[in-house]
Structure 1
Amino acid sequence: MSRRPWQKLAGGLWVASSFRPQPAGEPSPGRMKSSCVLLTALVALAAYYIYIPLPSSVSDPWKLMLLDATFRTAQQVSNLIHYLGLSHRLLALNFIIVSLSKKSAWSSAQVKVTDTDFDGVEVRVFEGSPKPGEPLRRSVVYIHGGGWALASAKIRYYDELCAAVAEELNAVVVSIEYRLVPKVYFPAQINDVVRATKYFLQPEVLHKYSVDPDRIGISGDSAGGNLAAALGQQISQDANLKNKLKVQALIYPVLQALDFNTPSYQQNVNSPILPRYVMVKYWVDYLKGNYDFVEAMTVNNHTSLDVEEAVALRARLNWTALLPPSVTKNYKPVVQTTGNARIIQEIPQLLDARSAPLIADQKVLQHLPKTYILTCEHDVLRDDGLMYAKRLESAGVEVTLDHFEDGFHGCMIFTSWPTNFSVGIRTRNSYIKWLDQNL
């Protein structure tokens, strides 16, 4: 039997020489292994949460996954706050969005920025420098997106967009800070933008800002595109307004709530940023409806054949006739024989052209100005824009349809780090170029 050498440690303790005391502060191998396992599990969990299958054609897919995960996290936090009774989920979500990106009215040598109000409606005004020899400037009234409930004219995404338009066009941009759900509901938002725009169109106000009354356009994205389209229809029909609009530019606008199964809704049902169920909930919130209706609306039970009020209007957005075969592909219309007539009875605003400009009468559409519509392939709202373009063309309106195959909903405002997308920069440049050439 071999004898093991012994050695005496401090304090008089004898131990076998093969024993090595653990140096102070050095983690044990077992603890290191546990930490590695835990870290690996956390990374795998994060990857599982962030990863969503995306088409290969979408712009910057991994960056989009991270953006979508961030937005989903903010939504889940706001849902928890709502569940705990601390605040309404939309108020909580908007607080997070605005707090992380609010920007003060900061002027530069190229653009003067001021916060004011037009007839009681808050606005942020961006004044570009006039061109030499042109004392009067072009102007754009801009309406931000956010599901009628989120964002602000004062967050950096819209501040940067409007400042870029003002600078590159030497224009005056009026960005409207309309009131939001749940503090107000339809039609308060459209009333705000109409009131602010009519105030701006007064001769004395245009004179104050050195704006050419013959070179004024309106524009907006997403829900802001919806409000801009409704605004355009109201302005064009107002016989009391001397100054009319020269152009309207609608960026991936939401234009109808009668069919949530158009080809783009079917194709992009779970697309990032704006999946179908989120869009339907925005509609229910905007029109102060019941959340119990959401599931029924996603399968078009609110516009079934037994709901007489909706049948005639659905003919105005018959996508089998309004969309080309390259878009309809093998998708089939979802038309229920029997549905839930109670939805339209309780939310009749679904059939109001002020909320759904796509269903406006043809006589209204024919008075609209030259129109630009930007659509994105990976967006549930793609077909809303395509159908509106077709209806406007049929009414004799000159339309430019600008479609981006790698675009996703909301992309145009994401142009600066860390949310800088290549398609965001291209869509913004294309949009500004069209305004420069047509306004």
Structure 2
Amino acid sequence: MKAPFFIITLLLAIVLYRLYTPVPQDIDEKIKFRIFVGFVRFFEFIGSVMNLFNSKPALQNLNDLALALQPHPPSTIEGSNIRSKVVTFDGVRVLLYEPINRKGSESVAGLMFYHGGGYMIGSPEAYDPLTRQLAEELDIVIASVDYCLATKRQFPAAHEDSMRALRYFLIHASEFGVDPARIGVAGDSAGGHLAAAVTQEASDDPSLPRLKIQVLLYPLLQLLDLQTPSYQKYMYDFGSTGGVLTERTLGIMRCVYLLGRIEEDFITAFRVNNHTSLAFKKDNPTYYNHELVPAGLRKHVSYKGPVMEDGNDEMWTKYKHLFQDPRVSPLMRKNLSSLPPAYIVSCQYDSLRDDAIMYAARLEAAGIETKLVNYYNGWHGMFNVPHFEVGRRAIKYLVQHLKRNL
């Protein structure tokens, strides 16, 4: 009896350890947050177990499981004025939301949405509650893009899908009753990165209508400095295995996005900011300029300044064309003056916080009308978890801003 009891106790301890996360004082609804992160860790654990049998990355297993279990959202919902349907925009699958009864004969605004999920998981169907709510409250057409995940094809596949769908929407807007002069792009996390990158590319194309707005929700915007103040603070707050996005999970997502596979040396180099050469760091100090982050957000016991003491010449030589590609690191684009107005959201408890803050600062310096909202009790993923007050409040303010600016 003692041996089975010991084994069960040991397994339970391992599971509890995997599910545990610290919860900083300023995060509201702490029990709900801990439960939410616990569910994330549990499903990651299930994906890891499945990996033992099929050798797929745990996150790919997680996405396959979600797609198998998730019911397709209904086209219409009782009491709603929005109808959804699956269409294709130049070969790219899109979940399209349209008002059923239009108010008058005038064209409405349009919004192209890119879902999050670290390039490895997620789908338009998984984001249906958010995109349907936005379409309903704004009375607009929303096109939610099912871009190619990196587990199928790595960079630049997701970007190319995203841009191809946007180009189609801009050119064929009138077919959907959309005013081409009132089309914006939006996305969260990895989708926020895709939204920023296609905004830049579309703005460079004089043949396309000008975008009305770009909405970037806690986006990943660069892969050169992975030790900004927010990365350092996130490690202090959650450690390497806590929080919504663990250090390793972020490393895997970036690695698979760029290479289509997991390489441990690549992930380790990301973790210690040792994926670029020392010469590049010394020659390009502006890429590691933390002064764009307000002093109040940098002044934290965890902050040690820019991490520029070492470099990896071999990795830099092999992958610098990826790290410096503006489609990968839109924050590093030199000229931002041609871009549309921006609404950018960052979260205090998010390692990606400073990507958003620095991009907003650079856009403002380029003369672009920019609204930055940093949620001091917010965390990564909150827009797609509306059961939390911080998520509901963030959606409310987003809707208010889009009503005035789209």
Using structure 2 for the length normalisation, give the TM-score.
0.90
Q: Which residue of 1 aligns with 2:267?
A: 294
CA distance in 2: counterparts of 1:326 and 1:154, whole angstroms: 39
Maintained 8 Å contact 1:304/1:340: yes
| Residue aligned with 1:376, SS | strand
The one-letter amino acid paired with 2:81 is Q
What's the offset of the Cα at 1:341? 1.4
Q: Deviations over 1:216-258 (max 9, x none)?
A: 10000000000000010000001222x1101010000001111
Maintained 8 Å contact 1:90/1:181: no
Q: Which residue of 1 aligns with 2:94?
A: 123
Q: Deviations over 1:17-65 (max 9, x none)?
A: xxxxxxxxxxxxxx9xxxx999999987765554422111113222121
Maintained 8 Å contact 1:317/1:359: no
2:231 to 257, 265, 275: 265
Q: Which residue of 2 aligns with 1:11?
A: none
Maintained 8 Å contact 1:111/1:127: yes
Maintained 8 Å contact 2:117/2:189: yes
Maintained 8 Å contact 2:189/2:381: yes
Q: Which residue of 2 aligns with 1:228?
A: 195
The one-letter amino acid paired with 2:200 is Q
Structure 1 residues 317 and 216, CA, compared in 2 at 3 Å: closer, same or farther?
Answer: farther
Structure 1 residues 247 and 313, CA, compared in 2 at 3 Å: closer, same or farther?
Answer: farther
1:394 to 365, 384, 395: 365
What's the offset of the Cα at 1:130? 6.0
Structure 1 residues 344 and 264, CA, compared in 2 at 3 Å: closer, same or farther?
Answer: same
- Answering whether residue 340 of structure 2 is matched by residue 369 of structure 1, we say yes
| Residue aligned with 2:275, SS | helix
What's the offset of the Cα at 1:313? 5.0
2:178 to 211, 215, 221: 211
CA distance in 1: counterparts of 2:202 and 2:182, whole angstroms: 15
What's the offset of the Cα at 1:279? 1.3
Q: Which residue of 1 aligns with 2:331?
A: 358
| Residue aligned with 2:120, SS | coil
- Which deviates the most, 73-82 or 187-196? 73-82
Maintained 8 Å contact 1:105/1:115: no
Structure 1 residues 438 and 134, CA, compared in 2 at 3 Å: closer, same or farther?
Answer: farther
The one-letter amino acid paired with 1:245 is L
Alignment length (residue pairs): 393
The one-letter amino acid paired with 2:215 is A
Q: Which residue of 1 aligns with 2:33?
A: 64
The one-letter amino acid paired with 2:384 is I
Maintained 8 Å contact 1:145/1:222: yes
Q: Percent identity?
A: 35
| Residue aligned with 2:174, SS | helix
Using structure 1 for the length normalisation, give the TM-score.
0.83
| Residue aligned with 2:22, SS | coil
- Which deviates the most, 106-115 or 78-87? 78-87
2:316 to 344, 348, 358: 344
Q: Deviations over 1:324-373 (max 9, x none)?
A: 11011141224333321122222231111101111111x2x111111000
The one-letter amino acid paired with 2:345 is L
CA distance in 2: counterparts of 1:126 and 1:99, whole angstroms: 23
- Which deviates the most, 213-222 or 103-112? 103-112
CA distance in 2: counterparts of 1:53 and 1:374, whole angstroms: 23
- Answering whether residue 153 of structure 2 is matched by residue 184 of structure 1, we say yes
- Answering whether residue 116 of structure 2 is matched by residue 150 of structure 1, we say no
| Residue aligned with 1:302, SS | coil
Matches within 5 A, 1:79-158: 79-108=48-77, 109-129=80-100, 132-133=103-104, 135-155=106-126, 158=127
1:276 to 234, 237, 247: 247
Structure 1 residues 317 and 168, CA, compared in 2 at 3 Å: closer, same or farther?
Answer: farther
- Which blocks of at least 5 consecutive residues in structure 2 are unaligned? none
- Answering whether residue 226 of structure 2 is matched by residue 256 of structure 1, we say no
- Which deviates the most, 131-140 or 117-126? 131-140
CA distance in 1: counterparts of 2:271 and 2:359, whole angstroms: 21
CA distance in 2: counterparts of 1:99 and 1:62, whole angstroms: 29
RMSD: 2.5
Structure 1 residues 400 and 151, CA, compared in 2 at 3 Å: closer, same or farther?
Answer: same
Maintained 8 Å contact 1:233/1:368: yes
The one-letter amino acid paired with 2:201 is Q
Structure 1 residues 346 and 169, CA, compared in 2 at 3 Å: closer, same or farther?
Answer: same
Maintained 8 Å contact 2:288/2:306: no
Maintained 8 Å contact 2:21/2:37: no
Maintained 8 Å contact 2:224/2:287: no
- Which deviates the most, 327-336 or 406-415? 327-336
Q: Which residue of 2 aligns with 1:239?
A: 206
| Residue aligned with 1:186, SS | coil
Q: Deviations over 1:295-334 (max 9, x none)?
A: 222111123423x3x5555513511x21111011141224
Maintained 8 Å contact 1:221/1:251: yes
